[in-house]
Chains A and B, each alone.
Chain A
Amino acid sequence: MSETAATNVQSDNGQVNPVQGLMVLLGVLGLGVLIWYFANQPAALDRSVLGTRGFAHYANDRYVAENPDKKSAQKFQFFEGLPLTKKDEISLRILPLYDPDIFSFSRRTQNAKDDLSSEIRSIGRRGLRRKIQNIPTLVVLPKWRYGSLRQERFHPEFLIDPADHRLPFRDSSKLGAPEVRHGADVFLTEQPKITGENVPPSLNISRDLALYAPQTISGGFPSFDSCSSEIELKGETLLARCEWASTATQFWLLTDPDLLNNHGAWHGDNAAFVYDLALALAGEGKIIVDATPIDIIARNNNAERDNRNRSFSDLFRFFEYPFSYFWIALACLVMFTLWHAQRRYGAAEVDKDSESRLPNKATVIDANVTILRATPGTDVPLAQQHIRQRMDGLGAEILGSSRKRGAEGEAQLLASISRKNKALGDKMQKTLSALDTQQLATGGSSGLFKNLNQFEKLIDEVRHEFGRSSNARS
Chain B
Amino acid sequence: MRPSRLLLWLLFAALALSLVAVIVPALPVDWALLPLAVVLIATIFDWVISVGPRSIEVNISHLREVFVGEHLEIDFKLNSKRKNGSLPRSEIKGRLAHVDGFETREEFSFGKGNITLPVLAKQRGRWTIDRLWLYWKSRLGLIEFIPVRKIDLAAAVVPNIRPITSGQIDFDMRTAIFGEKQTSQRGEGSEFHQLNDYVQGMDPRSIDWKHSARQNRLVAKEMRAERNHQIILAMDNGHLMREEINGLARIDHKINAALALAWAGVQGGDQVGLFAFDARPRQYTPAQPGRVAFARLRSQMAELQYSSIETNHTLALATLHERLNRRSLIVVFSDFVDPLSAELLLEHLAVLNRHHVLVFVSLHDPLLQNLVNQRVETMDGVARSVSASNLLAERRLVFEKMSSMGIDVIETTPVEMTPNLLNTYLAIKAKELI
A residues with a Cβ closer than 8 A to B are 1-2, 4-5, 322-323, 325-326, 328-330, 332-333, 336-337, 339-340, 342-347, 350, 358-362, 364-365, 368-369, 372-373, 379, 382-383, 385-386, 389-390, 392-393, 445, 449, 452-453, 456, 471, 473-474
Pick from B2, B382, B387: contact of A340, CB under 8 Å: B2
Contacts of A386 in B (CB 8 A): 376, 382, 385-386, 389
Pick from B7, B11, B100, B383: contact of A373, CB under 8 Å: B383
User: Is the CB–CB distance between A389 and B386 below 8 Å?
Assistant: yes
20 inter-chain pairs at a CB distance below 8 angstroms, sorted by A residue, are A1-B100, A2-B128, A329-B18, A340-B4, A343-B146, A345-B95, A358-B242, A358-B243, A358-B308, A364-B391, A365-B371, A365-B387, A365-B391, A368-B383, A369-B384, A372-B387, A373-B380, A392-B389, A453-B375, A456-B375
B residues with a Cβ closer than 8 A to A are 1-5, 7-8, 11-12, 14-15, 18-19, 21-22, 29, 32-33, 35-36, 40, 95-101, 106-107, 127-128, 130-131, 133, 135, 144, 146, 239-240, 242-243, 308, 310, 337-338, 365, 367-368, 371-373, 375-377, 379-380, 382-391, 393, 396, 411-413
Query: Known contacts A346-B106, A393-B372; is A325 also within 8 Å of B386 by CB?
Result: no
Minimum CB–CB distance from B134 to chain A (whole Å) comes to 9
Minimum CB–CB distance from A122 to chain B (whole Å) comes to 43
User: Is the CB–CB distance between B22 and A326 below 8 Å?
Assistant: yes
User: Is the CB–CB distance between B19 and A326 below 8 Å?
Assistant: yes
Contacts of A323 in B (CB 8 A): 22
User: Is the CB–CB distance between B383 and A369 below 8 Å?
Assistant: yes
CA distance A348 to B3 in the complex (A): 20
Query: Known contacts A333-B15, A336-B8; is A449 also within 8 Å of B377 by CB?
Result: yes
Query: A372 — nearest CB in chain B belongs to which residue?
Result: B383
CA distance A322 to B20 in the complex (A): 11
User: Is the CB–CB distance between B130 and A329 below 8 Å?
Assistant: no
Contacts of A337 in B (CB 8 A): 3, 8
Query: B99 — nearest CB in chain A belongs to which residue?
Result: A1
CA distance A344 to B98 in the complex (A): 14
CA distance A455 to B133 in the complex (A): 54
Contacts of B389 in A (CB 8 A): 385-386, 389, 392-393
Pick from A5, A322, A325: contact of B97, CB under 8 Å: A5
Query: B125 — nearest CB in chain A belongs to which residue?
Result: A1
Pick from A322, A346, A369, A372: contact of B133, CB under 8 Å: A346
Pick from A322, A389, A393, A453: contact of B32, CB under 8 Å: A322
User: Is the CB–CB distance between B2 and A358 below 8 Å?
Assistant: no
Minimum CB–CB distance from B195 to chain A (whole Å) comes to 46
Minimum CB–CB distance from B322 to chain A (whole Å) comes to 30
Query: Known contacts A326-B18, A326-B19; is A445 also within 8 Å of B29 by CB?
Result: no
Since A2-B131, A359-B310, A373-B383 are in contact, a sample of 14 more A-B pairs with Cβ atoms closer than 8 Å, ordered by chain A residue number, is A4-B100, A326-B18, A326-B19, A328-B33, A333-B14, A347-B96, A347-B131, A365-B384, A365-B391, A368-B383, A379-B379, A382-B379, A382-B386, A449-B377
Contacts of A449 in B (CB 8 A): 376-377
User: Is the CB–CB distance between B19 and A373 below 8 Å?
Assistant: no
Query: A333 — nearest CB in chain B belongs to which residue?
Result: B11
Minimum CB–CB distance from A195 to chain B (whole Å) comes to 62
CA distance A375 to B36 in the complex (A): 68
Minimum CB–CB distance from B151 to chain A (whole Å) comes to 11
Pick from A325, A343, A471: contact of B21, CB under 8 Å: A325
CA distance A445 to B373 in the complex (A): 21
CA distance A357 to B2 in the complex (A): 37
Contacts of A359 in B (CB 8 A): 239, 310
CA distance A242 to B86 in the complex (A): 94
Contacts of A382 in B (CB 8 A): 379, 382-383, 386
Kindly name the residue among B11, B19, B21, B337 whose own CB sees the greatest number of chain A CB atoms within 10 A: B11
CA distance A93 to B15 in the complex (A): 53
Contacts of A383 in B (CB 8 A): 382
CA distance A91 to B107 in the complex (A): 78
User: Is the CB–CB distance between B98 and A347 below 8 Å?
Assistant: yes
User: Is the CB–CB distance between A329 and B127 below 8 Å?
Assistant: no
CA distance A345 to B93 in the complex (A): 10
User: Is the CB–CB distance between B338 and A364 below 8 Å?
Assistant: yes
Contacts of B8 in A (CB 8 A): 333, 336-337, 340
Contacts of A2 in B (CB 8 A): 97, 99, 128, 130-131
Query: Known contacts A326-B22, A340-B2, A346-B133; is A362 also within 8 Å of B11 by CB?
Result: no
CA distance A473 to B402 in the complex (A): 14
Query: Known contacts A346-B95, A346-B106; is A1 also within 8 Å of B101 by CB?
Result: yes
Minimum CB–CB distance from A267 to chain B (whole Å) comes to 65
Query: Known contacts A332-B11, A393-B372; is A340 also within 8 Å of B383 by CB?
Result: no
Query: A359 — nearest CB in chain B belongs to which residue?
Result: B239
Query: B2 — nearest CB in chain A belongs to which residue?
Result: A343
CA distance A336 to B239 in the complex (A): 48
Contacts of B239 in A (CB 8 A): 358-359
User: Is the CB–CB distance between A368 and B33 below 8 Å?
Assistant: no
Contacts of A5 in B (CB 8 A): 97-100
User: Is the CB–CB distance between A346 and B107 below 8 Å?
Assistant: yes
Query: Known contacts A325-B21, A389-B386, A449-B377; is A332 also within 8 Å of B95 by CB?
Result: no
User: Is the CB–CB distance between B337 and A364 below 8 Å?
Assistant: yes
User: Is the CB–CB distance between B11 and A345 below 8 Å?
Assistant: no
User: Is the CB–CB distance between B3 and A339 below 8 Å?
Assistant: yes
Pick from B5, B15, B99, B375: contact of A329, CB under 8 Å: B15
CA distance A1 to B126 in the complex (A): 9
Contacts of B100 in A (CB 8 A): 1, 4-5
Query: A378 — nearest CB in chain B belongs to which residue?
Result: B383
Query: Known contacts A5-B98, A333-B12, A347-B95; is A361 also within 8 Å of B365 by CB?
Result: yes
* Cβ-closest 7 pairs across A and B: A368-B387, A325-B32, A346-B95, A343-B2, A389-B389, A322-B29, A329-B15
Query: A9 — nearest CB in chain B belongs to which residue?
Result: B98
CA distance A149 to B178 in the complex (A): 112
Contacts of A373 in B (CB 8 A): 379-380, 383
Pick from B3, B133, B365, B375: contact of A336, CB under 8 Å: B3
Query: A2 — nearest CB in chain B belongs to which residue?
Result: B130
CA distance A388 to B365 in the complex (A): 21
Query: Known contacts A1-B100, A5-B97, A5-B98; is A328 also within 8 Å of B386 by CB?
Result: no
Query: Known contacts A361-B337, A361-B367, A445-B379; is A350 also within 8 Å of B98 by CB?
Result: yes
Contacts of A365 in B (CB 8 A): 371, 384, 387-388, 391
Contacts of A389 in B (CB 8 A): 372, 385-386, 389, 393
Minimum CB–CB distance from A124 to chain B (whole Å) comes to 39
Contacts of B338 in A (CB 8 A): 364
